Chains A and B, each alone.
Chain A
Amino acid sequence: MEDLTEMLKGTLEGCVLQIIGGEETYGYAITRRLNELGFTDVIEGTVYTILLRLERNGLVRVTKRPSEKGPPRKFYALNDAGREELARFWAKWEYLSSRIDKLKEGGR
């Protein structure tokens, strides 16, 4: 779907946390996962800025690992603070989506 960028902005960080929470992974793989999911407009640069923020806020553990070609790759995994943040994200998301569903169904 096109033109999701604005709407996706606030939730993309949560999506990245969820992906990292599944398994330790790196920027390009995260981007590809999001693209495959249907968020085709998400570029690696955006994911890079999110990862940088997660690192600065102490939510991830970063490990440099050698890659077959090119420089070593930075791999990201959630730490305890990251897992708490992810739980908070899903709680907020469920609150938000349940309210919006209600609105759509015409309830109060």
Chain B
Amino acid sequence: MGIRDIIEGKKHWRAHVARVKALPPDYRIVYGEIQKYFFKVGPVNLPDGRLLSGIVDFFEEGAAAGRPVLELVGHDVAAFCDDLIKDSPTYTDIYRASLGGEPGKTS
């Protein structure tokens, strides 16, 4: 059971994937890379599903207006992502806290 399977249940996930597939190719590529990045970084607001579905909402609007994806998010896609999860700790942060170590220090 990866994060994929748990996000609001498999049914929701499949519906989400279908929406992504309906996006134009350039949007689909950027969405795929963003999702990969979030899975690695592991922000805790990821499993509530709204982070990813919000991005699809945003992308659908841009695609409907016929605009290229990089015009929307800019060339520094990573900066866009980091901005989105700025207020959210990552799973690694929580794991570290559970070990009782100081943040940023090996215990």
Q: Which residues of A contact B (CB under 8 A)?
A: 27-28, 43-46, 48-49, 52-53, 56, 67, 69-71, 73-74
Interface size class of B (residues with CB under 8 A): 10 to 19
Question: Contact: B57 with A74, CB < 8 Å?
Answer: yes
Q: Which residues of B contact A (CB under 8 A)?
A: 54, 57-58, 60-65, 71-74, 80, 83-84, 86-87
Q: With the chains together, A56 CA to B73 CA distance in Å?
A: 20
Question: Contact: B73 with A70, CB < 8 Å?
Answer: no
Q: Are A49 and B80 CB-contacts (below 8 A) given A43-B71, A43-B73?
A: yes
Q: With the chains together, A73 CA to B80 CA distance in Å?
A: 21
Question: Contact: A46 with B64, CB < 8 Å?
Answer: no
Instruction: Provide the residues of chain A in CB contact with B87, threshold 8 Å.
Output: 53, 56
